[in-house]
């Protein structure tokens, strides 16, 4: 499945393949069922932990190619697209595949491809095969929460019918009489089939009317695009009564391909990845008919250069190769991370720091960035207004990351991930063989959090600066320890380090960046583990589900903690990091990076 970045899901371009090799059947689960089919998802690009981007720096960009050229491996010659309508079904056929949708509900009941009459699970009820759905909660005090709803349309309409393409609409309006029964959105589901294309497109337009009759609610999930499973409540969009909002989700592309005989099935995967690049290079598609999905000439572009200035690393400004630069709703530095209602557009910088963000919807944005290897978030104070056809040069932007003094010691890499830390081997009972012998994906195993208690059954982790190795001696997540009675207890990690020539009247800075947190609280103490009042506490933070869902990062948190020189000792020192919450095994934090900075030399002068 390939998705347009216009809808802002967890990834910009995903692709699902359907394969057929003699008696072996593998294929898409986008259309609901996993009994017969194996999901094969390729992610072309993702936003910095959640935002889609296009890497558009020349010469890296992919030459545009029309998606209609795809016919899948072994597909027959293209013919004109045909549309058939009866009282209960709508059938669209291009000679390669045939899609059957219920009329007027707009449920995908059948996908015929090659010799398979239906790649969907025919034992399922027709209404449970391929559908758009939502999980929503009322915010009006009615107590209606976590309502799962399959979007069943009430009206069918032909939008475009030609031999080149067919686009159809299945819509369902909302009015106050439906309050509490259906999600308070007008929803228009669209399906498109092109001539010669071994797949079909679908997108939807969601609208919350700006009327006081429009119920307040939260959108906990709309499959693929919005979901709380990974980042939790922070990324659930919430709408007040009468708050106007409209958003296009998609188009997504459901691609089918096949091999015959003894041909290597991995050929399907390679073909699917090639098709993904065709789809990405063709974005934004020119063929969707809705005026809510603007064409390329109705969008704008922004380009410029991003450099970093950190005088404790280098005297001169440094280029940012691989930094993430994006446009999102105006807000504070880093606010893009939790903004989940509107559109965002992201890219990566090239080796010299140049960036180009193309095909941006009209509107007003702030420019945001973050740079792997450096702490913090960049935000350009000047709002950017995108108009149709504009090409805005923002010039050279300088990011000055948080810094007070020279680095005395550091643990980890500031990249918003805990991947560089120690990830244990999985329990053989739970091992997922798919990720064996893949060091970069070692964390994608069930039950790794339980390994902490096995490694540290009595005493907690102790890290000695200058002796310990964070890739071996720093556990990837600070989780509660499981006790013999099956309950859990909080844990206290120690960082031991030596200091000389302490400036007792000066201020040192301890910077702690977290790669994720789940209903956790981190307390920091200096040289006195039992001091009643900690030097610093985060308070209760985070609703990430990254650890139980085999992730290595969630949302990013950055704390800068003043440490008076009078709290430090000549020679041996210890920071105590206590994660106090322990009602469940998943109340935990993942560290990104920790750094102790010396006093600011200018302040000392």
The Cα 478–Cα 516 span in angstroms is 10
Q: Number of structural domains, the chain?
A: 3
How much helix, strand and coil, in percent to the nearest 5, is found in the chain? 10, 40, 50
- Are 173 and 157 in contact, with CB atoms under 8 Å apart? no
- Are 401 and 558 in contact, with CB atoms under 8 Å apart? no
What's the pLDDT score for residue 484? 87
Residue 74 lies in a domain: no
The CATH number of the domain holding residue 567 is 2.60.120.260
The Cα 153–Cα 173 span in angstroms is 8
Which of 399, 415, 437 is the endpoint of a domain? Answer: 399
The Cα 448–Cα 445 span in angstroms is 7
Residue 287 lies in a domain: no
Q: What is the DSSP string of 301-341?
A: EEEEEEEE--TTT-SS-EE-TT-EEEEESS-STTGGGT--S
The DSSP code for 386 is E
Q: Read off φ and ψ for residue 268, nearest 5 degrees.
A: -60, -45
Residue 479 lies in a domain: yes
What residues are paired with 226 via a beta bridge?
222
Residues 445 and 585 in one domain: yes
Residue 511 lies in a domain: yes
Residues 508 and 557 in one domain: yes
Residues 94 and 191 in one domain: yes
The Cα 544–Cα 418 span in angstroms is 14
Q: Which of 601, 590, 278, 225 is nearest to 422 (CA)?
A: 590
- Are 525 and 575 in contact, with CB atoms under 8 Å apart? yes
- Are 476 and 552 in contact, with CB atoms under 8 Å apart? yes
Residues 536 and 444 in one domain: yes
The parent domain of residue 381 ranges over 296-399
- Are 416 and 370 in contact, with CB atoms under 8 Å apart? yes
Residues 183 and 315 in one domain: no
- The dihedral through the CA atoms of 102, 108, 113, 119 has a sign that is negative
Q: Which of 280, 281, 346, 345 is nearest to 15 (CA)?
A: 280
Residues 142 and 238 in one domain: yes
Residues 490 and 357 in one domain: no
Residues 512 and 540 in one domain: yes
Residue 67 lies in a domain: no
The Cα 336–Cα 377 span in angstroms is 10
Residues 411 and 374 in one domain: no
What's the pLDDT score for residue 141? 87
Matching residue, tokens 């398979």: 116
Task: List average pLDDT for each run of 10 residues in the chain, which is 605 residues long.
Answer: 36 32 28 30 32 34 38 62 97 96 97 92 90 95 92 98 98 95 97 96 97 94 86 92 97 93 87 95 96 97 98 95 97 96 97 98 98 98 97 98 97 97 94 89 93 94 98 97 92 98 96 97 97 97 93 96 97 98 95 97 70
The Cα 122–Cα 129 span in angstroms is 8
CA-based end-to-end distance of the chain? 60
CB atoms closer than 10 angstroms to residue 292: 15
Is residue 344 exposed (0-12), middle (13-18) or buried (19+ Cβ within 10 Å)?
Answer: buried
The DSSP code for 116 is B
Which of 356, 374, 399 is the endpoint of a domain? Answer: 399
CB atoms closer than 10 angstroms to residue 237: 18
What's the pLDDT score for residue 586? 94
- Are 380 and 83 in contact, with CB atoms under 8 Å apart? no
What's the pLDDT score for residue 10? 32
Residue 349 lies in a domain: yes
The CATH number of the domain holding residue 356 is 2.60.40.1120
- Are 336 and 326 in contact, with CB atoms under 8 Å apart? yes
Residue 54 lies in a domain: no
What's the pLDDT score for residue 221? 93
Residues 301 and 191 in one domain: no
Residues 431 and 391 in one domain: no
Which of 356, 373, 399 is the endpoint of a domain? Answer: 399
Residues 445 and 326 in one domain: no
Residue 37 lies in a domain: no
Helices (H), 336-483: 451-455, 470-473
The Cα 397–Cα 353 span in angstroms is 10
Matching residue, tokens 């005989």: 261
The Cα 542–Cα 478 span in angstroms is 14
Cβ burial 481-499 (10 Å sphere, 16+ → b, else e): bbeeeeebebbbbebebeb
Task: Return the CA Rg of the chain.
Answer: 27
């Amino acid at each position: 499945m390939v998705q347009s970045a216009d809808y802002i899901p967890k990834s910009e371009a995903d692709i699902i393949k359907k394969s057929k090799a003699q008696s072996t059947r593998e294929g898409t689960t986008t259309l609901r069922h996993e009994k017969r089919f194996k999901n094969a998802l390729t992610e072309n690009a993702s936003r910095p932990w959640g935002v889609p981007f296009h890497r558009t720096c020349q010469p890296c960009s992919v030459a545009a190619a029309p998606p209609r050229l795809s016919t899948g491996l072994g597909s027959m010659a293209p013919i004109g697209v045909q549309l058939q309508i009866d009282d209960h079904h709508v059938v669209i056929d291009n000679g390669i595949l045939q899609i059957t949708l219920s009329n007027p509900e707009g449920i995908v009941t059948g996908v015929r491809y090659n010799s398979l009459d239906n790649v969907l699970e025919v034992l399922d009820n027709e209404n449970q095969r391929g559908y758009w759905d939502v999980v929503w909660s009322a915010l009006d005090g009615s107590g209606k929460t976590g309502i799962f709803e399959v979007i069943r349309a009430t009206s069918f309409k032909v939008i475009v019918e030609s031999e080149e393409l067919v686009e159809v609409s299945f819509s369902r309006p909302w009015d106050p009489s439906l309050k509490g029964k259906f999600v308070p959105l007008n929803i228009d589901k669209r399906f498109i089939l092109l001539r010669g294309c071994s797949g079909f497109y679908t997108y939807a337009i969601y609208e919350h009317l700006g009327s006081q009759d429009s119920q307040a609610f939260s959108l906990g999930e709309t499959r693929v695009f919005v979901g709380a499973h990974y980042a939790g409540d922070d990324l659930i969009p919430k709408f007040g009564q009468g708050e106007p909002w409209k958003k296009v989700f998609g188009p997504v592309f459901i691609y089918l391909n096949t091999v015959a005989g003894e041909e290597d099935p991995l050929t399907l995967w390679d073909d699917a990845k090639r098709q993904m690049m065709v789809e990405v290079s063709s974005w934004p598609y020119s063929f969707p008919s809705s005026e809510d999905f603007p064409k390329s000439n109705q969008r704008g572009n922004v380009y410029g250069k991003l450099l970093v200035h950190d005088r404790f690393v280098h005297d001169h400004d440094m280029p940012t190769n691989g930094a993430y630069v994006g446009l999102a709703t105006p807000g504070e530095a880093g606010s893009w991370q939790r903004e989940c209602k509107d559109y965002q557009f992201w890219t990566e910088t090239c080796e010299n720091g140049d960036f180009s963000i193309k095909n941006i919807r009209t509107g007003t944005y702030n420019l945001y960035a973050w740079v792997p290897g450096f702490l913090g978030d960049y935000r350009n104070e000047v709002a950017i207004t995108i108009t149709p056809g504009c090409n805005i040069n923002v010039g050279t932007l300088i990011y000055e990351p948080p810094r007070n003094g020279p680095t005395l010691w550091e643990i980890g890499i500031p990249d918003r991930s805990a991947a560089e830390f120690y990830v244990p081997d999985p329990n053989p009972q739970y091992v997922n063989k798919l990720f064996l012998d893949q060091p970069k994906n070692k964390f994608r195993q069930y039950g790794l959090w339980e390994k902490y208690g096995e490694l540290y059954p009595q005493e907690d982790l102790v890290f000695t600066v200058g002796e310990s190795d964070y890739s071996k001696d720093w556990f990837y997540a600070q989780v509660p320890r499981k006790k013999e009675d099956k309950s859990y207890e909080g844990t206290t990690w120690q960082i031991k380090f030596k200091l000389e020539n302490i400036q007792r009247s000066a201020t040192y800075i301890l910077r702690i960046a977290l790669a994720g947190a789940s209903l956790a609280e981190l307390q920091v103490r200096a040289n006195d583990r039992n001091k009643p009042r900690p030097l610093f506490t985060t308070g209760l933070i985070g609703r990430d589900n990254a650890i139980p869902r085999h992730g290595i990062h969630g949302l990013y948190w950055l704390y800068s903690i003043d440490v008076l020189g009078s709290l430090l000792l000549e020679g041996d020192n210890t920071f105590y990091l206590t994660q106090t919450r322990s009602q469940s095994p998943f109340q935990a934090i993942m560290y990104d990076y920790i750094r102790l900075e010396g006093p600011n030399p200018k302040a000392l002068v």
